Structure 1
Amino acid sequence: MTDLLHTALHAVSKSGTETPAVPYSRPVTPSGGSYAVQIGFVGLGAMGGVMAKNLANYRAAHVLNSSPILVWNRTATKAESLVSELGESKIRVAQTLDQVVTECDVIFTALANDETVKSVYQDFVKTLKHTPPARNKIFVETSTIYPTLAGELDVLVSSVPHCHLIASPVFGTPYVAAAAQLVIVMSGDYRSKKEVAYMLVPAVGKKVIDLGGNIEKANTFKLIGNSMILGTLEILAESYTLAEKSGIDASEVHSFVKDIFPAPGIIRYSERMSTDNFDATTGFSINGGIKDASHIRQLTAVHNSPMPSIDIAHQHLITARAIHTAHAEAGKEAVEVLDWSGIIAGTRVAAGLDPFAESKNVHKVQED
């Protein structure tokens, strides 16, 4: 869920030319232009809300006779807030999931965890079996889920005539999403990927990576990418903790990170740790981090490919969440939702330091 990989993902071919942002030829208008595509968006959390907003704004400005995007969220106030911000010409609020799945041709989902994703898709298919679609529907699953769940969803969706599923997780924080700079990974039905890719680039992201027809590949790639990000977070947390113990100011460490590791995501997480800014409002929640770490560890076990750094990071994330929960329950000052950069709390307490406040840690270092 960050932009650490953006530099690496700007691949250059052997001929020296940059890889195209969308690796498909432009699709023809659906049904020869006989109808306007209705888009639906389910899940308006930190990422989904920004993606839906960008998609609505872009289509209103660039797609002739575009319809307002139909949105649904378990907490209705988020959907209503989006309408207030963008207007009814760009956003409509669905009253039920049934309305989204029956009215829309392309349905995006951005949900918190595997259980929610599976439940929503089961509801979709139950509705469609009662009211079978007369034309193609494309489901675009953008959540970070375990790869085999994507296979289960594909079987479920394809049991309904004219329905196709593509897996399309994204790399980027909400900050990156707001700038429409997400990196988008896709696997599944080729024609569906082609149509959706041009909806998303440049409206939501800057690049699509196509991983072929095996629908599980995109989610596998997402977990591999997140393992790199989580491993980097663990190293940053350990390094900042050692700096605190040895009397090095956090600002000096952050300055070093900016000089030596100038990737936007690394700098952003370094800044959070150096300033004890662990509010997940504009970041990625620690619950999401623990879920992703669990998926990565399961994947490493299945493929007999150990990742000890992820095992350690997983424990530090759980430690940080436990401390944050205890602080909240005791009425101590705490952010409502802890960002996964709060992993540093796990390394700090292991070193005998205050978990969330570097300024409280007194440095007693013997001078030469």
Structure 2
Amino acid sequence: MAELKPGGPLSSAGLRLVQELPYSRPATPGYHTQVRVGWIGLGAMGYLMARNLANHRATHVEPHRPLLVWNRTRQKGEKLLHELGGGKVAIAQAVVDVATTCDIVFTSLSSDDVIRSVYEEIAAAFQAQPPATRKILVDTSTIYPRLAGEIDALVSAIPHCSFVTAPIFGPPAMAENATLIIALSGDYRSKKEVAFTVVPAIGRRVIDLGGNIEKAPTFKLIGNSLILGSLELIAEAYTMAEKSGIGQDVVYTYIKEMFPAPLWLSYGDKMLHDKFDGTEGFSIDGGVKDATHIRRLSSELNSPMPAIDTAHHHLLTARALHAAQERTGTTSFPVLDWSALIAGTRVAAGLDAFESGKQSGPVPESESE
């Protein structure tokens, strides 16, 4: 961390630090180095974040205590332990063991129902034996804002406990490189501790959404609507390019020249080359869940989002087509990536769903000569 001289001008490093962490250091820095940190949920994103956090704390926190992890399938924890070693990671026997043992507990889980179940289990353990020291529970998942309020009410009723919502922005590649963006809402002091725990360990900066616990999850859905809307737009442009004989590869060249944003480049490449393996990206089930949350929020706020309505339709179409392939044993992917929503636009235009080479539109002139 850069040191700022009292009363002096901010250096470039100091300005960057202020932008990355909109907080002063925690009031008791010693506490920050002594805490035990735990992680619940080692999915596609959770695994990478937990790995980066464990590595960072082993290098920068003294005295160091291993990251305590738990996952529903123990194999994920054992894989992380094998990768990093017992000096950096320890495996908990039960989810409540992470909560009772650690001071700061992160959760990264797949669905609202799973998240509700885990927090109810933790709360029951705390109610049976109230913690004597401070506990900060931090959820990094994409959840419906109202659920965040329910969890906050459950957790904050327990002495010494606070809840922070910290949804993350970025694909697995950003998680791999610890360049995620983290939105925070909740108790100010707790957010300080969380911010200095996650930056730069798992992300490059945090965005403070204030004390209303539902603001960060709301912001996360808004952010995901931009991603999902972009996927839909790329899918529609690619499909028209194929039908017109221009070719989606030409559109991708245009994207690289005019819109060279990481998101457009990554998902444009996936659609161009039919890279729809959801085990290496964001699963279509997660996309359907997020689209459903966004549409529900837009309905409650009377704020129409027709692009998301269309994207949701195409996600369902792609998932249904994949399910049909599974029944006949002809699928190429165990799980679809949400970029496979292009299957919906392709089928509507009379093209093959998952293999762009099987197009039936006009033949480019270069191929007809």
Q: How would you bin the TM-score normalised by the shorter chain?
A: over 0.9
1:47 equivalent in structure 2: 45
Does structure 2 conserve the Cα–Cα contact (< 8 Å) formed by 1:172 and 1:182? yes
1:180 equivalent in structure 2: 178
Deviation at 1:281, TM superposition (A): 2.3
TM-score under structure 2 normalisation? 0.93
1:25 has 2:55 as partner: no
Deviation at 1:85, TM superposition (A): 0.2
Does structure 1 conserve the Cα–Cα contact (< 8 Å) formed by 2:33 and 2:61? no
Cα distance 1:134–1:281, how it changes in 2: closer, same or farther (>3 A)? same
1:166 has 2:164 as partner: yes
Among 283, 293, 296, the alignment partner of 2:294 is 296
2:339 equivalent in structure 1: 341
1:58 equivalent in structure 2: 56
Cα root mean square deviation, aligned:
1.6
- Taking only the aligned residue pairs, the percentage that are identical comes to 56
Does structure 1 conserve the Cα–Cα contact (< 8 Å) formed by 2:235 and 2:341? yes
* Secondary structure in 1 matching 2:340: helix
Letter in 1 for 2:95: L
* Secondary structure in 1 matching 2:162: strand
Does structure 2 conserve the Cα–Cα contact (< 8 Å) formed by 1:56 and 1:69? yes
Cα distance 1:167–1:34, how it changes in 2: closer, same or farther (>3 A)? closer
Does structure 1 conserve the Cα–Cα contact (< 8 Å) formed by 2:322 and 2:331? no
Aligned residues: 351
Among 72, 75, 90, the alignment partner of 1:74 is 72
Letter in 2 for 1:25: S
Among 135, 139, 142, the alignment partner of 1:141 is 139
2:11 equivalent in structure 1: none
1:257 equivalent in structure 2: 255
Cα distance 1:238–1:139, how it changes in 2: closer, same or farther (>3 A)? same
1:190 equivalent in structure 2: 188
1:274 has 2:272 as partner: yes
**More deviation, 205-214/19-28:** 19-28
Deviation at 1:250, TM superposition (A): 2.3
Letter in 1 for 2:89: I
2:106 equivalent in structure 1: 108
Deviation at 1:363, TM superposition (A): 3.4
Provide, for residues 46-65 of structure 1, a one-character-per-residue CA deviation record: whole Å limited to 9, x for no partner: 00000000000000001111
Deviation at 1:365, TM superposition (A): 4.7
Cα distance 1:208–1:34, how it changes in 2: closer, same or farther (>3 A)? closer
Cα distance 1:55–1:34, how it changes in 2: closer, same or farther (>3 A)? closer
1:220 has 2:218 as partner: yes
Does structure 1 conserve the Cα–Cα contact (< 8 Å) formed by 2:235 and 2:345? yes
**More deviation, 117-126/279-288:** 279-288
> 1:34 & 1:129 partners in 2: Cα distance?
26
Among 238, 241, 266, the alignment partner of 2:239 is 241
> 1:319 & 1:80 partners in 2: Cα distance?
37
Instruction: Return 5+ residue gaps in structure 2 as ranges.
Output: 1-14
1:121 has 2:119 as partner: yes
* Secondary structure in 2 matching 1:108: strand
> 1:123 & 1:288 partners in 2: Cα distance?
24
Instruction: Return 5+ residue gaps in structure 1 as ranges.
Output: 1-16
Does structure 1 conserve the Cα–Cα contact (< 8 Å) formed by 2:283 and 2:338? yes
Letter in 1 for 2:189: R
2:82 equivalent in structure 1: 84
* Secondary structure in 1 matching 2:19: coil
Does structure 1 conserve the Cα–Cα contact (< 8 Å) formed by 2:26 and 2:32? no
Provide, for residues 76-108 of structure 1, a one-character-per-residue CA deviation record: whole Å limited to 9, x for no partner: 100000000000000000010121111011000
Deviation at 1:336, TM superposition (A): 1.0
TM-score under structure 1 normalisation? 0.93
> 1:177 & 1:29 partners in 2: Cα distance?
29
> 2:304 & 2:281 partners in 1: Cα distance?
28
* Secondary structure in 2 matching 1:315: helix
> 2:235 & 2:271 partners in 1: Cα distance?
7
